[in-house]
Amino acid sequence: MSAERSPEAERAARELLRHAVATLAYRGAKAIAGAPPEFADFRPSDSTRTPVALLSHIGDLLDWAVSLAEGNQRWNPVDPTGWDDATTRFFAGLGAFDEYLASDRPLAWSAERLFQGPVADALTHVGQLMMLRRLAGIPVRSENYSKADVRAGRVTAEQTAPKMEFD
């Protein structure tokens, strides 16, 4: 915790970060849901990561986020083993990170730095998954995400139905 920040401000920052993690879960679940098995290896060019590589990398970022929060910065990338495994790891990583944020354990890195590093990077990669779905001909319907029912702590594949989708 920062010396200049009150406990109340620290809790508020953690809650906002938890909401960002729930947003990542909501958007990630939407990017993953209904993807056919062949999507995992889709590659529009030789320099593009496959969806399974991106999803595996997001799992790496979530593992890193927990290690940063704990004060044991570790970067241990895991080679993708398949879409189902990467999906399971994605939601497990979200759960582990959210659980840490919901606890009273201290943050070794500020909520702001945890957002600007692993969380923002993961959100970028979810956007790439959405773009790859369009390129693969299996787009996901657009949505007004400001109306979505996103709640801190809801970090599983089971998300609420979209409130306002459009084409």
Residue-wise pLDDT tens digits, 10-39: 999 999 999 999 999 999 999 999 999 999
The CATH classification of domain 7-160, taken from the options 1.10.10.10, 3.30.460.20, 1.20.120.450, 3.40.720.10: 1.20.120.450
- In the chain, what are the domain boundaries? 7-160
- Reported as a pLDDT band with limits 50, 70 and 90, residue 147 is very high
Question: Which residues are CB-contacts of 104 (< 8 A; sequence separation ≥ 6)?
Answer: none
Q: Which has the closest alpha carbon to 24: 86, 115, 88?
A: 115
Specify the pLDDT at position 2: 46
pLDDT digits (tens, 9 = 90+) for 31-85: 999 999 999 999 999 999 999 999 999 999 999 999 999 999 999 999 999 999 9
pLDDT of the residue at 5: 85
Count Cβ atoms below 10 Å from residue 28 Cβ, excluding itself.
Answer: 25
Residue ranges of the alpha helices (H) in 49-159?
A: 51-70, 83-102, 111-114, 120-135
Q: What's the pLDDT score for residue 3? A: 57
